[in-house]
Structure formats: C-alpha cells, structure tokens
Structure 1
Amino acid sequence: MKTDANVVPLTKAAPEHSSNPVVGRLPVALIQLRDKSALQLKAALQALFDNADDTLFDMADRATSNNEQNAYFETMRDLRLKRKNIERGFLQKLFESFTALTQYEVEKPPVLTAMSFDSLSLVREDELEESVALEAMVAKVLSRDGTALGQLTTRINTLISKPLDEKTNPIGPNALCGFFIEACSSLGVEIRVKLIILKLFEKYVLGDLDQLYADANQTLVAAGVLPELPAVATQRRNPGRTASGSTREADAPASPGAVGGGDYSEQDVHEVFGALQGLLANARGGALPRRERPVDAMPISSSDLMRLLSHMQQRAPAQASDDFDLREQLEQLLTRASAKSGKTRVVGEVDEDVINLVSMLFEFILDDRTLPDSLKALIGRLQIPMLKVAVIDKTFFNRGSHPARRLLNEIASAALGWVDQDDAKRDSLYQKIEQVVQRLLNDFVDDPLIFSELLADFIAFTGDERRRSELLEQRTRDAEEGSAKAEMARREVEQALNERLLGKTLPEVVVRLLQEAWSKVLMLACLKHGVHSDEWRAVLATMDDLIWSVEPHDDPEARMRLLELVPGLLKALREGMASAAFDPFATGEFFNQLEVLHVQAFQRFKRNLAEDPAEATAHVAEPELKQVQPEVAAVLPLLELPPEVVEQEPAMLEVVEEIVLSAPGAKAESEPEPSLADDDESLLQVDALHVGSWVEFQEDEEHKLRCKLAAVIKPTGKYIFVNRTGMKVLEKTRMGLAVEFRRQAIRLLDDALLFDRALESVIGNLRKLKGA
C-alpha cells in the first residue's frame, strides 16, 4: 500500500539508548539519610554478632547429638571468621540500593522464553522454610512500624527517580532481609542453624527499626522534605497475599497528568500540594500579593490558562531577564481578555498558587550563583513550559522522578562546569541546551511526554560527554601520580647522594659521574623496585664502593681490597649506566678519567711495595698475603703509565652545597608560601574539599575559572583541578588553596540538584514568612 510509508512504529517514538543505566546524582537529603541509616544498621549488626556466640553456645549445650553440637560450634567459628565480610557485604548492598534510586533506565519489553513442564521443579523444603520465616519477620515489622515506614517512603518518593513502595524501600524490612541473606550466602550452614541466625537478625536489627524510621523521617524533615505531611496511614497487605494483591497497588489511580508513570495516588498529590498551598496562604500580603478579586470576577479554566501560556510561550523573549515578570505578563493578557468579553477574568486560586510557586522557583534559579550567566539565560526561558507542566500535573512538585524536573536538574548538572566564553554558541553543550529549550518553546503545547523524550536524549548526550571527560580525567590522574612517584624517587636519590657526598672532597670526575650519571641509575632502581629492594641496595653499594675506591688509603689491607674491588666495580658501573641509557660517549669519557685515578692508586701501592715490602704487607695475614702477592705481581707490570700522568694530581672538588636534581621541564621555584596555623579556618576549608568538588577561582576582575578537584596527590601534597572535559587546568598546594580561600578568591559550587535546591529555598522562605 502507498500509505505504508507513513506508518511510524511506536517503538521509535523515543530515541534508542544503551541498556546501561545512567546514574543521576543522589540528593543531599538522601545522602544524609543513607549515611545515618548505615551507622545505625552497622551498630545493630555488631550487636547481633556480639551476642551470636552466647546464643549458639547455649544451643550447643542443649544439643542432643554430637553432630548437632558440632554444627553449632562450626557456625560460631564461621561467624567469627566471616563477620567483617558479612557486615561489609550488607552495607555494600545498602549503599548500592540507595544509588539505584536515581538510576534512569529505558524500559524494555519483557522477553518471553519457551517454558516446558520439565523445567519446573518444586521449591525445596529448606527454601520454603526460610521463605516462610522471612515473610513472618517482614509482616511483624510492617504491623508494628508500618505508619513510620509509609511516611518515610512517601518522603523519599519526592526525591528519587522512580516510584518506591515499602517493598523496594532500601531500609524497608524486605530489602534489609534480602541484604542480610545475600551477605550470609557464604555461610555453609543447615536450615535449623540459618533460622537461628535469622532470629538473631530479627531481634537485634529488625527489632530496632522503629527508632531507625523515626530518625530517618526526622532527617528528611530537617532537610525540608514534606515537614507538613500528616502521618501516613499505609494500608499493608496481609502476609499471606501475593504482591499483586497489594491494597496500595490496587487502589492507587494514576494522576491524570502524570508523566512517565508511577504509583502516586491523588491523595499523595493533594497532601503535598496542599501543604505548599498552606504555606502560600500564610505568605499572602507579604512576599506575595494578596488576592483581591472583584465580586463579578470569573476564574478562567485551566485549559484557557494553558492557551494563554502557549500564546506567551510563542512570544517569549530570546533571553530571560530580571525585567520579565510572568505574573505581570499574564495579568496584561487577562486584562485584554476581560475588556473584550466585558467580564472580569482572573486565574483560579489553584492555578494562581501554581503560578506563584513556579515564579518563585525561577526567581531562585535566575539568582543562583552556581549557574553560569549565559546558560542561566537559556534555562530561564523554560519558565513557561515548566509552568504549563505544573498546571497539567501537580506531581511536578512532589515527584523527584518527574521528567520535567529531571530535565531541569540534568541541564543544571551538566552546566556546572561550563565557563562563559566568547564563542559560547559553538560549544556543544550550549548548543544542546539551546536545542532542548527551543524544542520545548516550539513544540510543547499540552502533551508532557515531550519532556521524557528530551530527557532521554539529553542524558544520552551528557553520558557520552561524561565518558570522554572521565577518560581524560583518569589519564590526568595517572600522569600526576606518575609525576608524584618520580618526585618522591628524586628526593630519595638526592638524600642518598647528599648523605655520601656532602662535606667530602673527592675527584671532580667522580662527583660529576655520581650527580649526572649514577643519579639516573638510582632513579630507575627506585621507581622500578622501591627503596626496600635488593636492586636499590645494590646500586647504593656500587656508589659506596666507587667513593671508597677514589679516597686515599694508607692501610695495606685497604690497598689489597682495592685491587680485588676494581674489576667488579667497573663492570657494575658500566651495566648500571647502560640500563639507564646514559650517553655512551660521556660514559667512555668518565671511565677514561676513572681509570687514571685507579691506576694512580695502584702505582702508589707499587712504589710502597718496592720501597719497603715488609712494611707494605706487615698487617696482611699470611694466607691472604700468599694469595694476593701473585695477583699483584701479575697486575703491577700492566699498570705502568707515563710519568707525567702518574705525577698529575686530579682535580678535586669539595661538596659544600646540597645536591638538588632538576626534574625534566621543572619550573623555577616560586616564592615561598605563607605558613598558616593548623587550625586556621582557611586550612579547614581546604581539608573539607573532596575529590569531585566543583570550585570557582576568581582569577581577576573579569575572568573566573570553574574546575573540579580531580585528585589529591598525597606524596607531593598537590591538588589537581580539571575542567569539564577532564583536562588539567590548575595545580595548587594545600597552603596555596588556603591562601585563596583566605582572600576569598575561591568559591565552592553547590552541586546539589537545582530544582530541589530551589524548592527547598522557596519552602524555607515561605516558612519564615509564616513565622513572621
């Protein structure tokens, strides 16, 4: 058929994405909740293990057979050995579960596989017994602490990326039991012992969940998450019913304008939005104008309001500015409509509250110092589309996973490291954000699914950028760590040279050989093998032998040792310098001069032996003398040198200054930094920095540099900063950063989610007005 070409598969309505989830940022409030809960659960687990021995010992004492008794004793031993691993595994699963709350995944259709009756099997009796025990434990917690858990779940739902219920709550009893079972999977115990361990878990961990939930709710309330929310009377399912029979799942209708699905009931939406309306009502006449409606005023419908907003959207200014007042512009349109109809038209109370909330949110956004000015102007143009979404769907205010909210947050997160520049419009990130804004202004009428599409596309874009920047950032870290290792090795070599040469007077050629050539051999050994290796000790010994060989010695034993030492010493020197790829020509020159020094020493020894053989060998033991004399007699005739060479004194050098080796490409030393007290506030600010922190440096009156702390190189004390592409842009010491903090030339950038910060600020301001 000719019309086939116009048929568009529904599966292409959204762009394709990788199956890998893209991890979003965990809100600050959830990080606090996670960390506090982890501490409480860790303490509860420790109590469990502290009491496990006594319980298992009592059980062993009452055992009716040796096998049963041995099983309890083996479990006691196994628990002691694996206690730390179980605790670590449990907490790891807890942290992973919190992280998964902000993962964005493109849903895939279920894959149907062939099933045969042969592949089905009955659940093993042990597994069934364990399952029944777990269900009973969970049911007991839900019966006792269901209200607090339901309240906590509702609060978390306002912050996260996907719907949550009691079963999937990271600190709900279902999840905690699952974490514990998985962490204990390495325990090879039979079912009766496993049930005892589960009873201990119920007593010491699940038994204290009431306090955990109370503290968790208080943490979120303190962070401003639904403080006005009344106690939630959660309807819990009977433990014997299946998950599909959950009262909440059966009775929770989807919000008419909900975007992206979710288990948000109308009651949840009205409770949250109602709380916000209550705060707005108390602020009337203060920050917000008081409603003064004419008696004959007719509120316009939400659909009429949407038409007016669409009209404004098409004529929105190219850049958001402080002069643009959404409420004033809307009032002008209503005045015109009233004049045409002859009746006073006003916005309905609910819609007016939505307008006020969105306006206050964008006032915060346009004043936010974290956003660069150029991108702030772009984001400000989203005010009308966001307002239209909020009018359609009130879950916009209480659902952290709402695509419109997430799109705004993702744009702000990507813009965090962006720096204003002359050719801003050529930057790929700027162009992408501009495309998103323009697409919304042009195409968004009343179908909020466009936000889901743009969100998926933008996350795919930023994911590619992030992978590239992380790769370059890792290379930067590797390079800096390599430089730090080289710097530490250089210091070790300098120390070794100074310990042996400082204050001594030696032939100049030897000092130069050690400083210019052998220092490279030492560096190589230090970097490859470390200062505790045999290789390092060997190159140090060769250096010590060289120094000893050119020092004057009158002791006959020393002269005999020199004769034995020189051949092996020269071989070790040649091999070492070859391994360090030292210049062969310079190596030959060094060895020629070194040979003269050794020959002069042998000639002096020969003269002493010829003038007074008895005196020269008086201190040498008889066996050694018999062994050495033939060698001396054989070697000495070959050591004849011209008289002028023998008599020529070598150039000597006294090492009076510490040897400092220069690093390749090293810069001249900068001026010494000021010293600050250990408890100085500026140093404490530096110590509070963590890898991943974004900061802004005020380079001069006009230029600012935004960068991220990529690494702290502990051996050298350097703080390495990169830009959003992962390229190194700055390097500071701890003291240098403290000086920047002291002169207020550095500012921390808040990387918390933009919408959440804006909503927090609005709620905080409304509360202040309420209390005023």
Structure 2
Amino acid sequence: MDTIPLNTAKKHEFSSSGRLLMLQSLVPVATNLISSQLEAFSSRLTDALFKVSDQTVQPEEAAKSFGAYQLLKRNPSTFYRLLASQISAILTKEVSIINTRRKYTETHDAKDFSLVTFEEMENKVLSNNLIKALEVNNAEKLVELNSRIGLALNRTPISVSQNPFRPEVFVNAVVQSWQEFESVQETPRLILSLMQPDLFLQLGTVYQGLNDALHERGVVVDTDAVKRENKKRHTPVSDRKHESGDPYLENKLRSIFSANAQKIGQTGQGAPVRNAAGEAGSGQSMSWSGSSLAGQGEEGMAAAPEMVMIDRHFFDYLTGLQKQLFQNQPADDRTYLRRLSQEAPAAELTHIDQNTIELLARIFDYVFNDPSIPEEIKSLIGQLQIPTLKVALLDKDFFFKESHPARVLIDTLAKSSVSLGQDASNEDPLYQMIEGIVDRVQQDFDQQIELFSNVVADLEAFLKEEEQQAEQAISEPVAQALQQEKMRLAREFAENDVAIRVETGEVAGFLEEFLRNQWIRILTIAHNVKEEKPNALENALRTMDDLIWSLKPKNSPEERKELVSKLPAMLTLLNAWLNAIKWDEPERVLFFSKLAERHAAIARAPLEFSPRRQLEIAVNIAQRASEKKLNRQVSDQSEQLPDPWLPVLEKMERGIWLDFMSSSGVINRFKLAWVSPKRTRYIFTNRKGYDSFSISSEELLAQLRTGDAVEVSASSIVDRALVEALRDPPA
C-alpha cells in the first residue's frame, strides 16, 4: 500500500519586525525595476509631447508642450534621478504605514474640496482615470500581490487601496517628479492628459517581480485560486444577477409566490421593512420587494407582484417567538416551522406566508437529514428557523439567489461543520464560533438582513485563519510529497529511456534484464538531479549507449579495434555507477562474467560475416523489435481502458472532505489539503493540518473504487434542499 504517514511540520510565523523588513526589502526591488524602464518611458513621453506640440491648433498648448518636450529631451538624466528618488521615498513611506492603513487613508482623504481649484480637480479626475485603467490592466498580478502581502502580514488578502505598491503610488510619484522637474503649474495637467497605460511605466513587470521576490522569501499562494477569484471579481454584475440559473426551478418558485390569486394584507397595521442594505423603506405597510419576481414571467404565466404585503401582527408574533426561544434555549426542537403553520393565527397567514413556511420547512428537513452534518450542529442550525423565516418573508430573493446573505450563512455553517465529523465537541473552537453566531442572529436579528453578511464574514475569517495555520502545518509533508513526485517522474523518464533502446531489438537478453532492473535505478537518480547536475544524466545515457554498442556484432577490424580501446573506460564508468547504487549482489559478478564472455566472442569472431549471416542477424533484430513494440502496444492499451473513477479523481480540488474507512471498519474524515503539480500525490489532514498522510493517485483511485474512500458532498446544501423541496411544490 502506497500510503505514507507524515510528521507534521513545525508551525512557523514571521515576527512583526520580520514582516516589516520583508516588505521594506521589496522597495529596492520595485525601484530597480522602475529604473530599468526610465529611459524607454522618457522616450515615449518625449515623443508624445512633440506630437501634441506639432498637431494641436491651440498656440498656448503648443508652446507649453514644445517647451516641456525640449526640457525633457535636454535633461533626461535629471528626470530619471528625480523619478527614481521620488518612487523610492514614497514606497518607503507607504510600507512604513501599512499597519495603520485605515487611519492614514481616512485622514488622507478627509480634504476640504471647497478650497480645491478647478485645475486641481481636473488633475484629480485625469489621475483617477489613469489609476483605474492601470488597476484593470494589471488586475491579476495585483490580486496575487494583495494575497501575498496579506499572507506576509498574517492577514486576509488586502485590498488594492491598502497595497503600498498600488498604481496610485506610481502615478503620484510621476506627477510630483514632474512638478519638481518643471515649475510651470499647467504642465502636470498636460502630462496627465497624455498618460495612457501603454505610455506609462509598465507596472506588470514590477508586479511580477514583486510576486517573484515574495515567492523566493517563502510567501506562497495558490495562484490558481487567485485567478479564479480575480475572474469572479471581474464578472459583470448583470451576469451574476440570477445565480440559481435553473429556469425550471425559477418558474416553480414564481408560481409558488404569485400573489395574483389572493391579494394580501387585508388586516393589521403595517411596519417599515429594511432592504438587504439595511435601509428603512417608506410607507406604513410591511412589504418585500424581489427583483427576481418582478416583471412578466414566461409566456402564459402571470407575473408575480413587485411588492407583497406582510401582516404586522404576524411578523410581531414571529419576533416574540424568536426572543422567547432565545431566552429559554429549549432542548433540541426541529419542528418550529411545522408547528408554526398549525399554531399561528389563521387570519394572519396569507397564501404566500403558508407557501414560504412550507418551503422553508422542507429545506430545514433536508438539512436535518444530511448525514455529513454533526447532530450538534444540526441542533444549532435548527435555532435559525424563525430568523430565516422572517428573512424569507421580507425578501423572497432568499429562494432565488445563491448569494443571499441568510442562504450563504446556512451553507457556510453546514459546509464548515463537515470538518467536525460526528465527534463534534462544544469545546472545539469552531463549534463555539458557530454557537456564538447562532446566538447573535437569534438575539439581534429583526429586519436588518446585513447582519447575516456580518456573521458570515466573521465565520469566513475564522475559517481562513484556521486554513492558514493548517497550510503552515503541512509544509514539511508537502516538501516530502514533492520529492516523491519528482522521483516518480524521474523513474518514468528512466523507464522510457531504457524502453526506446530495448525496442530496437538489438539488446541482448541478459543486458536487457540488467538495464530494466539496475540501470533504471541509475537513470532515475540522474533524472532526479539533472537540474543541479546536468552532466550526470548525459554521462549515464552515454554509458548505457556505449554498453549496448559494445555487444553488437562488429563486422570490420576497425570496429573491433574501437571496441578494445573503449572497453577499459566504459567498464570503469559502469562500475562507478553501480557502486553509486550499491549493487553488490552475486548477480553483479555473474553479469560481468557474461559481459566478458560476449566481448571475447565478438573479438574472436571471423573478420567479416558472410552476407547470409548478416541477413540472419538483421532478420532476428527486426523480429525482436517487432515483438517488443507489439508487447508495449498491448500493455499501453490495457492501461488506457476507461476507468469511471478517474474523472472523479481528476476533479478533486483542495478543500474537499473524504471519509476513509480503516481496516477495522472505523470511518475517519480528512480534508484534501494539497495536490501535487502532476496530481500523482495527495495529502490529507484533519481540519487543523495534523494527522496528515500522503497517498499516491493509484492508491486513492483504488480506495474510491472499493468504497473505502467516499467524498463528502460540498455543494450548497440550500441548493440541494431547494431542488428536493420543489419536486412536489406547495399548492
């Protein structure tokens, strides 16, 4: 079995001073990368200024641009020096205040615009346009740099506004340098008006250099995840508006919440409702407005109303029940919603209210029946039934949008609890975090839906911190697994090196056995160290080729003479390589005995083979070559038989959970913490990164096939619950 337990690496964190020193060390990196571009940048700016002076129809602008052109053309080194110095100074300042970024930003932005001149405002607009364009053009590398700096500071990924190397810094440095370079006040506006990303400093090179520098300093991030996050951030909002995306389910939901059959809100005094942003609505009637429901549905289907009334008394009844349940903290009761539809005053339940309660009760039933969620967490999630009902009554987007805050909370609670397994303990920090979130929602939620976003952010920050600690804990196992994968790939290359030579049919039987059993080990080592010692691989391949050549028939005296002259050096190298792999068995003596016999026979052979003998040798070689190739084709075809579990393995990503069954029948849950670059090795750990083990792709595939490893579903539980609930929708 190719399952290898690994020791957990020691946790390592940068000290506060170490983090600051690391960021300070990036300032000369960025300054040097900018300095290497200054000549080309100055040339582009000079050409642009001359073009304006030559083409503009305004004499004053032509004079200013021509004067700036002449000044820059005559004194480029002065501009270089000013700009390099300004960039170094401003970057040093930015790095020094990164730990107080919020305070700095607030005081920096608190400017009295009543004292700003029109020229200053115009410069600000031009500067902002350039900054935004640079941020978009370098978005991917900027997001990666944000992640690396956040990791170096032991924070979540910072925003662009907190990045000390953001485009704004370089734009301001250029403007300030030009102001020092030339005292004419109107010229900075002229310079900014010319600036476009292709004319400006090439910041992509700078950000790549900074990312590489942090990588070399041990700040490693998942670049694929960064690209996915960047793509998600730049997806147009219109494309994400309806996230459920299933027209069939959406039509079912529309029909369930259609109020055309019954107009609601016959009785009771209304109360204002807050929207998803927490803003109070106007008017006296309680209402919800859902953009998903507004407008005309499919042809032949009545459109849902843009606003549905909610009875004030019923909502107050729910609020009272929520407070009562929080204060009394009753024993595990998962039937609140079922009882509510029976016990609530009949006059206060509308058609839509009843459908909402029934649909939500089915969703919670599905959650309670999910075997992957610990029972203790199901009890906590059950305490969210009344607050979630209030949300669903206020905002029907809960059913339509995956990104609805309350829906995200239930999904995140369910997904995070998977890591606890069935042995969840109230002493576990994650359990305590979930319990605190549930208590907060029960106690504080009234109509402010943004509360759900806040608690989700807190939970995600907690999980992010745990994940970072786990990544540090597996640093040593990852290094071991990378070495194992490197050795495995080296072995595959070595096997291929031998195979292509054996398939020619010219390799003697005893030599073929030697190459496949012993020389492959030598070639594996040579391939493994070829980056550090490229001559080793070249030497091993040449020695193998010389050995094969030495046993081929020699048809002329010249070839036999060449053999005799090469043998001593070849045998010396051969013995040196075999000593390196410590092959000291009796088989080594036998091999060299056979080798000596063959060499002697070749040397004593007739001076020239007859044409018939040469033909026989050629036919035998061709026949052996054909057999070797045919055998390899058959072997390759058998290995290429479709395996239905292979796509499952290939789609596995970091973060998923699997239940592994031990030989004694005990089920243990582990997270896929790391996948090797070639997907040949997988590392699984518990939630905190301990009890890690490394497993090969073949072994994991075998366990998936036999059912000894089963993936725990990680898809949105509310999505799955909604699909199941709508199989038989409420009337």
TM-score (norm 1): 0.46
Q: Which has the larger radius of gyration?
A: 1
TM-score (norm 2): 0.48
